[in-house]
Amino acid sequence: MSVLIYIDIADGQIKKTSLEAASYGAKLAAQMGTTAEAVVLGSVTEDLASLGQYGISKVHQVNDAALNQLDAQVHAQAVAEIAGSTGATVIVFSHNLNGKAIAPRVSARLKAGLVAGAVALPDTSNGFTVKKNVFSGKAFANVSVNTPVKIISLNPNAYPIAKGEGTAEVVQATPALPAARVKVTSVSKASGEIPLTEAEVVVSAGRGLKGPENWGMVEDLAKALHAATACSRPVADAHWRPHHEHVGQTGFAIAPNLYIAIGISGAIQHLAGVNRSKVIVVINKDPEAPFFKAADYGIVGDAFEVVPQLTAAIRKLKGTA
């Protein structure tokens, strides 16, 4: 019996969301009185033994460069085989694009109950119950899982990374894998220093900025906060900003520690993608903007006056003015 954590890799590096999943899985393993192990598919440049600092006792790596590109069927088969050989009773994924593609397939292979989008550790005092978001983050549900093997995908930024000391044992695994049916012919990477889905602080703006030529002040504020930038759907549709910055029901759903919305009215479709943010700050000159009802803090004022002053104050506070 063990808890197995799927470690997501990008360009040979472990993703931040995987460290969250590792911390979550290790805590769950301690709660269950068992060990936490990890599975890594593909080649990496990081020292996998360092995962021991996050509570992982053993890392099962399939060191095959063909797995660097995601084929969900192949990755699901690999995870299912390693879970079977290690006797894993709980498998933890990140609830990101890769996790959403792989976890349901592993669930089908192992006939395991799946809770997607968990936001807290399971309650194991009487059974196995997992808390998750429902209705686009407007409510929570407590889901009981009764299958012998259980699968959880953890919402990004829902559980803190817990780093300590320790070294994991790294072993090479050789599961029987099917031939890949997906061929990646090209990769177009989004620009930006901080991936939007992993950012702890996000600065977003909407049509209130009046045009793409005014986005400089948004980027200045984001740089001062070491934040990612985002936008509303109308801005992306108007090609003011690239579509990979679009957050909302039809864009990326994010859950940063801090979300700053500038000149965004707060339509329900936009809120559905950002309402899991821990703190929401809204800057809008319209005091009746719907977004203020969802905000933790609101500033009624002209963004062209407020944002530069806010950026200057932050730089002064950080000593970078």
Tokens 């072993």, residue?
171
Q: Is pLDDT of 190 > 70?
A: no
* pLDDT tens figures, 58-105: 999 999 888 988 999 999 999 999 999 999 999 999 999 999 999 999
Among 129, 128, 194, 122, CA closest to 159 = 122
Q: Work out the mean pLDDT of the chain and round it to a whole number.
A: 93
Q: Is pLDDT of 313 > 70?
A: yes
What average pLDDT does this structure show over 204-212? Answer: 95
Domains of the chain from N-terminus onward: 2-172 (3.40.50.620), 196-318 (3.40.50.1220)
Work out whether the CA dihedral 188, 193, 198, 203 comes out positive or negative.
negative
pLDDT band (50, 70, 90) for residue 108: very high
Q: What does the angle CA 80 – CA 36 – CA 132 come to, to the nearest 5 degrees? A: 75
Helix (H, G, I), strand (E, B) or coil at 248: coil
pLDDT of 304 reads 97
The answer to whether residues 95 and 118 touch, using CB atoms and an 8 Å cutoff, is: yes
* pLDDT tens figures, 131-165: 998 887 778 999 999 999 999 999 998 999 999 99
- Strands 297-300 and 139-144, how do they pair? unpaired
DSSP per-residue string spanning 213-238: GGTHHHHHHHHHHT-EEEE-HHHHHT
Rounded to whole angstroms, the Cα distance separating 257 from 227 reads 11
* 150 alpha carbon, distance to own chain's centre: 20
